[in-house]
Amino acid sequence: MSGLAILLVDDHPVVREGYRRLIERQPGLRVVAEAETAAEAYEAYRRCRPDVTILDMSLPGAGGLEAIRHIRQWDKGARILVFTMHQSAAFAVKAFEAGALGYITKTSPPSELIRAVEAISRGGHSISADIAAELAAERLTNRTSPLDGLGVREAEILRMFAAGMETERIAAALNLSLKTVQNYHYQIKAKTGARTDAHLVWMAISAGLLADDCPPQ
């Protein structure tokens, strides 16, 4: 075990070379493979099983997001650090959704890349300061779940519904008419824009409406 094995994926050889130098100057880090495309990245990953994969978002062919998903599908534990020029929180969110553990923009000082690699190799996360700031701002201004337009009663009924209770039982538990609960059900779907009961369940989950006792029965 001589340090962390790193896979470098970037379609620009010059950039790759520069960062390979930077990385290999660090004791404990070594580049074990390089790739230019999403397909190559996947191949190289399977061959080398690196500890950390550093990956650019804009790859020819399938694209960086696809590469992340593909690799993560093969190895759920893959530690992928996105290192890219896209200075956009939206991109970062997509990357994290695809399974990346870190997102560093190329405008960051080299030391930040090194720190990120080390953080990720230990199972942590890492985000560029600029992206983090943007995300934080978005959180603060735009803390809008599709569910917070709901009244207390509506939220209560949604919780029971999402937990798997039948409409009738909810009505009984709340001393309401069956019709009322049905109307709430409809109202909730209208307000949230859910077109499906299952959709509604997911909203309730992601809004944290359910306690730890989610699985019914």
CB 67 within 8 A of CB 41: yes
Phi-psi region of 153 (alpha: psi -120 to 50; beta: other; left: phi over 0): alpha
> Residue 189 is which amino acid?
K
Q: Report the residue from 165, 176, 180, 182 that binds its own copies according to the rule CB under 8 A.
A: 165
Q: Report the residue from 2, 139, 196, 208 that binds its own copies according to the rule CB under 8 A.
A: 196
CB 190, min distance to DNA, A: 6
Residue 179's binding partner out of DNA, its own copies, none, with CB under 5 to 8 Å set by partner kind: DNA
Supply 154's token pair.
């509506």
DSSP-assigned letters across all residues of 115-172: HHHHHHHTT--EE-HHHHHHHHHHHHH----TTTTS-HHHHHHHHHHHTT--HHHHHH
The DSSP call for residue 51 is S
Of 50 and 99, which CB lies nearer to its own copies in the complex structure? 99
Q: Which of residues 10-69 bind its own copies (CB under 8 A)?
A: none
Of 28 and 164, which CB lies nearer to its own copies in the complex structure? 164
Please identify, among the stretches 11-19, 53-61, 122-130, 198-206, the one whose residues bind its own copies according to the rule CB under 8 A: 198-206
CB 150, min distance to DNA, A: 7
Residue 202's binding partner out of its own copies, DNA, none, with CB under 5 to 8 Å set by partner kind: its own copies
Q: Which residues bind DNA (CB under 7 A)?
A: 151-154, 167-168, 174, 176-180, 182-183, 185-186, 189-190, 197
